[in-house]
Structure 1
Amino acid sequence: MSKYLWLIRHGESEGNLERRIQGWQDFPLTNRGRRQAARLAERLAEEAGIEAIITSPLARAATTAEIIGAVLGLPIHYDDRLKEYNFGPIEGLTREEIREKYPLVWAAWQLNEFWEPLPGEEGEVMFENRIQAAMNDIVANLSEESSIAVVMHGGAMNTCLRSMLGIKERGWRMFAFDNASVNLIQLQAKVLPDAENDKEEEQFKMLGFIDRDTVEYNYRIILLNDVSHLHDLMGSRPTWFSGKRSPGK
């Protein structure tokens, strides 16, 4: 038996267009971002079989979710824990401004590392714990053979995938997600097979199967940063370390 998670990045926002670090700042979608969300909704209506939509309440994600929900005929559920990383004082800045005002943050960025949190900034551990708690609750409430859409942000999706895949290496950006991209994750429960005797049951457990009273999952990535539905609507791409563009999550 399987469950399916559609992890969706919001459409292009004004912050993306201006190449600004957004974090918790509430930039709206651009006109192109709205068109991206509409195109995404059409695709999901055709193939996803989605039963519920959960979103970050930040405008760029919430509006994307609401456009999808209107097409799919589904209500929207908002979860504060799905917000992007709170960058504190560097929110709203361009990468050039960060380089000038916060050179240590800039240097850490180039190495794909987290930095010592600035005053008012969330911090890596708190952020990861928040996102993982939200996703654990979402998965726990997802019935078998059902699909749910989660609309969120690039940094949050990176944290999700690193956790699901058991990636221990810490880094700010391991995966790059375009605006209005879709990522489909299949969750397969690790169910202890029927054993003929105690010895065989112990062998199953050694292979990674778990007790029937506990639920854990294997995660399979079916789609990653899929933007085949966008065609001519590709906007700002998340080229974090090129020196030409800022992340603007």
Structure 2
Amino acid sequence: MYIEDLLAEFNNGLIAGLSREEAAEKYPYQPHLALHESVYEQESQLQFRYRAEHVLSKILSENKEGTIVVITHGGMIYQLYRAFLGLPINTEVFVSTGDTGIHEWVIADGKKIIRASNKTDHLTNKNL
């Protein structure tokens, strides 16, 4: 097992640990930030995507063969999908992931394949 700090969720800065109500009151949502801009000591969307690109590259380069299991947060999974598929940072493509959702990706013969996305059978099937 290897712990990779780069797989952390989006760094929401001063909002961390606050209830949604308290966060909204103290730190109002800023809807029109450029990709490189951030507020409230958060990382920017560009920094978050770069971190996902960086960690995906690191994982793939250090593990040429075999199975890799990555356990991380929903926001990071979303960014890893974008990086894996080569989508632009400002794409209108969204990927859903539920709590403990399982996503299976394969790279075979230079092709990227998504075999499963957001599987949650393990939450309801007692026989697994």
- TM class by shorter chain equals 0.7 to 0.9
State which of 6, 26, 29 in structure 2 corresponds to 1:101: 26
1:230 aligns to 2:126 (yes or no): no
The two structures have a TM-score, normalised by structure 2, of 0.81
Alpha-carbon distance between aligned partners in 2 of 1:155 and 1:172, rounded to the nearest angstrom: 15
Structure 1 unaligned runs (5+)? Answer: 1-75, 191-217, 234-249
Q: Secondary structure at the match of 1:78?
A: coil
The one-letter code sitting in structure 2 at the alignment partner of 1:88 is G
Alpha-carbon distance between aligned partners in 2 of 1:83 and 1:139, rounded to the nearest angstrom: 18
- Alpha-carbon distance change, 115 to 169 in structure 1, aligned in 2, over 3 angstroms: closer
Alpha-carbon distance between aligned partners in 2 of 1:171 and 1:232, rounded to the nearest angstrom: 35
Deviation at 1:169, TM superposition (A): 5.2
The one-letter code sitting in structure 1 at the alignment partner of 2:20 is R
Q: Secondary structure at the match of 2:94?
A: coil
Alpha-carbon distance between aligned partners in 2 of 1:91 and 1:138, rounded to the nearest angstrom: 27
- Aligned position for 2:64: 143
Q: Secondary structure at the match of 1:168?
A: coil
Identity among equivalent positions (%) equals 26
- Aligned position for 2:45: 124
1:183 aligns to 2:103 (yes or no): yes
Aligned residues: 125
The one-letter code sitting in structure 1 at the alignment partner of 2:22 is E
- Alignment deviations for residues 192-243 of structure 1 (CA, whole Å, 9 cap, x no partner): xxxxxxxxxxxxxxxxxxxxxxxxxx3211111100011179xxxxxxxxxx
C-alpha contact 1:128 1:159 (8 A) present in aligned 2: yes
The one-letter code sitting in structure 1 at the alignment partner of 2:69 is A
Q: Secondary structure at the match of 1:149?
A: coil
- Alignment deviations for residues 7-27 of structure 1 (CA, whole Å, 9 cap, x no partner): xxxxxxxxxxxxxxxxxxxxx
- Aligned position for 2:15: 90
Q: Secondary structure at the match of 1:170?
A: coil
Deviation at 1:103, TM superposition (A): 2.6
Structure 2 unaligned runs (5+)? Answer: none
- Counterparts in 2 of 1:1-249, with a 5 A limit? 76-105=1-30, 108=31, 116-144=37-65, 146-168=66-88, 170=90, 174-190=94-110, 218-231=111-124
The two structures have a TM-score, normalised by structure 1, of 0.44
- Alignment deviations for residues 22-67 of structure 1 (CA, whole Å, 9 cap, x no partner): xxxxxxxxxxxxxxxxxxxxxxxxxxxxxxxxxxxxxxxxxxxxxx
Alpha-carbon distance between aligned partners in 2 of 1:186 and 1:219, rounded to the nearest angstrom: 6
Higher relative contact order (CA 8 A, sep 6+): 1
Q: Secondary structure at the match of 1:148?
A: coil
The one-letter code sitting in structure 1 at the alignment partner of 2:99 is N
